[in-house]
Structure 1
Amino acid sequence: MKIVIAPDSFKESLSAAQVAECIERGFRQVFPDAEYCKLPLADGGEGTIDALLHGLPGERHYCHVSDPLGRTTMACWAALDEGRTGLLEFAQASGLDKLTVGERNPAFTSSFGTGQLIAQALDSGVDKLIIGLGGSAINDGGAGIVQALGGQLLNRQGQSLALGGIALHQLACIDLTQLHPRCADVELLIACDVDNPLCGPQGASHVFGRQKGATAEQRQELDHALGHFADIAAPHTGVNHRDTPGFGAAGGTPLGLSLLFDSKLRPGIDIILDALDADTLLEGCDLLITGEGKMDNQTLQGKTPYGIAKRANQKGIPVIGICGALGSQLDQLYSKMACVFGSVRAPQSLPQVLEEAADNLERSARNVAAALKLGKQL
């Protein structure tokens, strides 16, 4: 019996690799002779570098860059394919976890540090870039990236704009003549798991601004600022991206990237699965086990368990989900998975849940395996 274990991380407690190990340990207690194939995954957010380096040869590169507020922080990117492909996580330099709750203010936070990471990758000689957009703390439309790579965002007086989303109100001219010379040579693949447009009620500012610290008034102002940025950028990009699906990701970052690169947006989980050749691994598989920290109907919105389950479904492979906690709405999830199990053993405080995550997960996996074995015997 071949069992593929392909989970995402359990946020704040277990990495995807640790989740896969716990599930295997639990299943081995019941099915010791099964063939186990572990495939730790991510969907383009935090953990993407870990997931790809777990399955592919590559090297991490560390450098000092600016955090969302301009302070120096350490971040990393990865070189794959013998240095031909650069892999970046937006959150490494410009993520929410770089700020305390009190520091969150997307009117002034900037993606400049992510631009510095991109510059490092370009300087190394990569021919292709993959950027995962999850976990951002910014709402500047990728303007900081443009500025870090040599683009000039100027006001009516010909002065450079300050960093941050709110400054885009003053944008009058975009000068791309001094861009990093390798921007034109590199293919860019953007890992994006949302289809929100740049502007409007479903856009970057209104949908995601609150979690980044924006007040209702700021969300309205930032939405107008991004729309203005899109208007000024349109002659350079060839299209006004106000309503383009996916351009609301990471505070509108695809807009800035579209000024710099020949870029394409794809669901993050599909990029990861293709890079890791998941379809080949699923050949001959009898059971797929996947999961993430919390599972409910929102899992179907491009999350890791949905992405791998969809491919298993196409091959007729049964799918089981094991997660940290179950949400209240699961009905749609059962269209992709035979069953879903939560692993928290009892009502507990969050610190207890995080501390016991590995034990709870291993025990739950063992119980799932025992139920499967019992089903064979009945």
Structure 2
Amino acid sequence: MKIVIAPDSFKESLSAAAVASAIESGFRQIFPNASYYLLPLADGGEGTVEVLLEGLQGQAMYNWVQGPQGKPVHAMWALLDDGQTALIEIAAASGLDLIPKQERMATTASSFGTGELIQSALDHGVKRILLGLGGSATTDGGAGILQALGASLKDAQGQEIEPGGLALNQLASIDVSNLNQRCKDVEFIIACDVANPLCGEEGAAFVFGPQKGATPEQVSALDMGLENFANLAHQVLGCHHGSTKGFGAAGGAALGLALAFTVELKSGIDMVLDSLDADALLQDADLVITGEGQMDNQTLQGKTPYGIAKRAQNLGIPVIGIAGSLGTEVDDLYSKIDCVFGTVRSPQQLDQVLSEAHSNLQRTARNVAATLLMGSTLNLQ
């Protein structure tokens, strides 16, 4: 029996690799002779670099860059495919988790540090860049990225605008003539798991600005700045991205990137699955086990369990989901995942749930396996 174990991490408790290992340990208690294939996954956000580094035996790289509020941060990225591909997470240099909650300033947070990581990747001669957009602190439309790569964004007085999305309201001109020359030669794939447009009530500022520290008044000002940026970018690109699906991710970072590269937006989990050649691993599998910290109907919005389950379903492979906890609404999950299980034994404090995550997961996996074995021996007809 071939079993593919392909989970995401359980946030704040277990890495994706640790989750896969715990599930295998539980299943081996019941099915010791099965063939187990562990495929730790991520959906393009935080943890993606770690997953692909392990899966593809890449090289971890580190740079001191400018954080979202200007303070230096030591950010990790990865070289894959013998140095041909760079993998970068916007969260590493421009992430919301880099800023204490009480210090978050959505109006001035900049993506400049992510641009510095991209610059470093270009200096290493990569031919392809994969960028995960999850977890950003910024709403600057990728203006900081663009400036870090050599572009000039000036106000009506000819001065370079200040960092952050609010300053986009003063933007009067975009000059990309001094961009890094290698930008035009690099394949650039953006991992994007939201369909929000850049501007408007469903856009980057209105939907994601509040969680980054923006007040209602600041949300409106940030949206106006992004609209201004999109209008000026239209003159350079020949198309207007104010309503383009996916351009609202990571504070509109795709707009700045589109001014520097020919970009392709792709589902984050599909990017990871393709990079790991998951379809080949799934061939001839008898069972797929996936999971994440919490599973509910939101899982179907491009998260890891949905991504791997969809591919397994296309091959006729049954899928079991094991989560740290199950949300209140899970009925829609059954359209892609045959059955789902939560691991928490009883009502507990969060710190206890997190500390017992491995043992809870291992025990649940063992019980799922035992149920499968029992079902194979019963004749209930």
* TM-score, normalized by the shorter chain, greater than 0.5: yes
2:157 alignment partner in structure 1: 157
Q: Aligned pair 1:280/2:280, yes or no? A: yes
Q: Aligned pair 1:194/2:197, yes or no? A: no
1:96 alignment partner in structure 2: 96
Q: Matches of 2:283 and 2:243 in 1, distance apart?
A: 40
Q: Matches of 1:122 and 1:286 in 2, distance apart?
A: 42
Q: Aligned to 2:242, what secondary structure does the other structure show?
A: helix
Q: Aligned to 2:311, what secondary structure does the other structure show?
A: helix
Q: Aligned pair 1:38/2:32, yes or no? A: no
1:258 alignment partner in structure 2: 258
Instruction: Name the amino acid aligned to 2:52.
Output: L
2:332 alignment partner in structure 1: 332
Report sequence identity in percent.
62
Instruction: Name the amino acid aligned to 2:260.
Output: L
Shift in Å, 1:87: 0.6
Q: Aligned pair 1:140/2:140, yes or no? A: yes
2:341 alignment partner in structure 1: 341
Shift in Å, 1:354: 1.0
Instruction: Name the amino acid aligned to 2:179.
Output: L
Q: Aligned to 1:240, what secondary structure does the other structure show?
A: coil
Q: Aligned to 2:164, what secondary structure does the other structure show?
A: coil
Instruction: Name the amino acid aligned to 2:145.
Output: I
Q: Matches of 2:192 and 2:177 in 1, distance apart?
A: 28
Shift in Å, 1:9: 0.6
2:296 alignment partner in structure 1: 296
Q: Matches of 1:211 and 1:361 in 2, distance apart?
A: 31
2:117 alignment partner in structure 1: 117
Q: Which runs of 5+ in 2 are unaligned?
A: none
Shift in Å, 1:299: 0.5
Q: Aligned to 2:163, what secondary structure does the other structure show?
A: coil
Residues 235-287 of structure 1: CA deviation (Å, up to 9, x unaligned): 11221100000000000000000000011101011111111110110011011
Shift in Å, 1:52: 1.0
- Pick which of 201-210 and 159-168 moved more: 201-210
Q: Aligned to 2:25, what secondary structure does the other structure show?
A: helix
1:217 alignment partner in structure 2: 217
Q: Matches of 1:141 and 1:323 in 2, distance apart?
A: 35
Shift in Å, 1:57: 2.7
1:58 alignment partner in structure 2: 58
Q: Aligned pair 1:237/2:233, yes or no? A: no
Shift in Å, 1:214: 1.1
Instruction: Name the amino acid aligned to 1:193.
Output: D
Instruction: Name the amino acid aligned to 1:316.
Output: G
Q: If the length of structure 1 is used for normalisation, what is the TM-score?
A: 0.99
Q: Which runs of 5+ in 1 are unaligned?
A: none
Residues 318-359 of structure 1: CA deviation (Å, up to 9, x unaligned): 000001111111111100011111111111111111111111
Q: Matches of 1:103 and 1:183 in 2, distance apart?
A: 34
Instruction: Name the amino acid aligned to 2:259.
Output: L
Q: Aligned to 2:82, what secondary structure does the other structure show?
A: helix
What RMSD, in angstroms, separates the aligned Cα atoms of the two structures? 0.8
2:178 alignment partner in structure 1: 178
Q: Matches of 1:358 and 1:156 in 2, distance apart?
A: 58
Q: Aligned to 1:60, what secondary structure does the other structure show?
A: strand
How many positions carry a matched residue from both structures? 378
Runs of 4+ in 1 over 6 A off after TM superposition: none
Q: Matches of 1:24 and 1:110 in 2, distance apart?
A: 42
Q: Matches of 1:77 and 1:159 in 2, distance apart?
A: 32
